[in-house]
Amino acid sequence: MATWLEALIALLIVVSGIFILVGSLGLLKLPTLMMRLHAPTKATTLGVGGALLASMGFFWAVEGTVSVHELLVTAFLFLTAPVTAHFIAKAHLHLERKRDGGERERLPETGTGSGWSTYDAAPQAGQGEEGGAPREG
């Protein structure tokens, strides 16, 4: 194996290990859940992506064949991480609302007539706009 390739793979492994460590450190140390959500969904996903890249390079250097499995795992993780974060944030907001007896977590104002769409119903069509047809019935 060429020395530069070996150095590149080793660097990728070390960097991904550091990213995974930082992600879990953030999960442990940050104060609120909305802050804690950032660390694993970004840093850890990037770390796993780096490890998968290193594995691709390693098996390309050793066996001479490019394997697609790592790309599959990477694509799957990078697609599902935002969905997971969204679901966790939504569950957190609704549980907070339920627990505090109607007092919502301090979210900023939306700046429109209606509230946040995860709490309130969707605004009626044409509401708050000039020339919108009034809904009948």
Partner 1 sequence: MIEYALIFGFVAVSLALVMNLWRLLQGPSVVDRVLAVDTMVINTIALIILQGMYQGTTLYFEAALLLAMFGFISTVAFCRFLLRGNVIE
Q: How many chain residues interact with partner 1 (CB under 8 A)? A: 50
Instruction: State the burial class of residue 19 (Cβ atoms within 10 Å of its Cβ: 0-12, 13-18, 19+).
Output: buried
The dihedral built from the CA positions of residue 55, 61, 67 and 71, taken in this order, carries a sign that is positive
Residue 6-35 contact track with partner 1, rule CB under 8 A, x = bound: xx-xxx-xx-xxx-xx-xxx-xx----x--
| Interactions with partner 1, residue window 87-116 (CB under 8 A) | 87-88, 90-92, 94-95
The length of the chain is 137
Is the Cβ–Cβ distance between 54 and 9 less than 8 Å?
yes
- Give CA–CA dist 56/53, Å, rounded: 5
- What x/- string results for residues 61 through 90 when contact with partner 1 is judged by CB under 8 A? -xx---x-xx-xx--xx--x--xx--xx-x
CA separation for the pair 56, 8 (Å, rounded)? 12
Binding site for partner 1 (CB under 8 A): 6-7, 9-11, 13-14, 16-18, 20-21, 23-25, 27-28, 33, 36-37, 40, 44-45, 47-48, 51-52, 54-55, 58-59, 62-63, 67, 69-70, 72-73, 76-77, 80, 83-84, 87-88, 90-92, 94-95
